[in-house]
Amino acid sequence: MIPLSLLLKISLFLPLLFFPLKEKAGIPHPETSRISDRWITLSDGISFKQQNTDKTDLNILITFGGFLQPEESVRKWSDALCSVKNTDLGIGFQIAVKGPLNDYYQQRELDLNKLIDFTDSLIALKRFAESDIYVIGYSSGVFVFHEMLNLLNKRQEDVKSRVSGRITYFSLDGAMGKNQGIFLTEENTRYLKKIYGVYAESKTAGIRSARNNDVIDLVNYYKNISELVVVNSDNSGCLKGAKWCVHESLIIKYPPLKSGLSGNYNYDFGNRGENVTDEYLNYVKRAGKK
């Protein structure tokens, strides 16, 4: 007869045979197994994907969509960027976060703690110990990222120290949130390796992207870790004075509405991502695979 104590121990592990922890919790275990290279929902509006690459591609890309940008659109944007830039970036995991419901993310509707847990579960693994984290925030999406840093700063020191100094942050026409929105505090810059403040300019349209002044303010405020990047949008087709069209050219080279902001985010990035705006990522060069 099997002892009752042994039966109890076996019963504790039976659910894991049929419902693996890594899938139930939405947290993969790259040390021991692969997950499918498809997008998997982590939380409402947040999803992740493991790149179908070799085991030396261990960096993490997190894209934060702009105001009301659907999750599916952010996924396609992330895929397009990886299609054209993964040789430089070495992305092993992609994370897509849909755009906020309000310009300044007042509702705080996304479960960013789950995003923090997921990211920490990766970089806590030995294979990911030296991984870089690339964050791209577009327009109002930067405030979602700033709030993520606020929540991260409330965690235990071991979690905070794993992220410290590892994030390369691209703010695409995004504000630092000092006057409106969620502020990128000096305390939270401990997590950042570098800030690239990015705006676009079209000389043919005679205009810069709508929030270029916010980008310049961000770079000036954190000038010790920041660099200004200007994307050339001369060929975007934007009409004279169409600053919101130029704003949108930070995501796609040829915005669908030439007179302003299209607002539907239904972008055609091309079969191989050839229409995605990726110029600012030229500032990241891998010094060989890890």
CATH no. for 22-278 = 3.40.50
* Tens digits of residue pLDDT in 166-215: 999 999 999 999 999 999 999 999 999 999 999 999 999 999 999 999 99
Q: What is the Cα–Cα distance from 143 to 109, expressed in whole angstroms? A: 12
pTM above 0.75, yes or no: yes
**pLDDT over 50 (residue 261):** yes
Return the closest-CA partner of residue 81 out of 94, 99, 98: 94
CA distance 83 to 272: 6
118 CB-side CA count, 13 A: 31
| pLDDT tens readout for residues 113-157 | 999 999 999 999 888 888 999 999 999 999 999 999 999 999 999
Which are the contacts of 161, defined by CB distance < 8 A and separation ≥ 6?
none
Parse the chain into domains and list their residue ranges. Answer: 22-278
Q: Are 50 and 28 in contact (CB under 8 A)?
A: yes
Token pair belonging to 226: 């920041």
Average pLDDT over all residues of the chain: 88
Angle at 172 (CA atoms; ends 95, 236), nearest 5 degrees: 110
* pLDDT for the residue numbered 33: 43
pLDDT band at 37 (very low <50, low <70, confident <90, very high): confident
Q: Residue 10's pLDDT is what?
A: 39
- Residue whose entry in the numeric block shows the structure tokens 């110990």: 129
- The pair of structure tokens assigned to 100 is 């906020």
Residue 266 is which amino acid? N
How many Å apart are CA 126 and CA 130, to the nearest integer?
A: 8
Answer whether 77's CB lies under 8 Å from 251's CB: yes
Tens digit of each residue's pLDDT (9 = 90 or more) over 225-241: 999 999 999 999 999 99
Predicted local confidence at residue 52, as pLDDT = 61
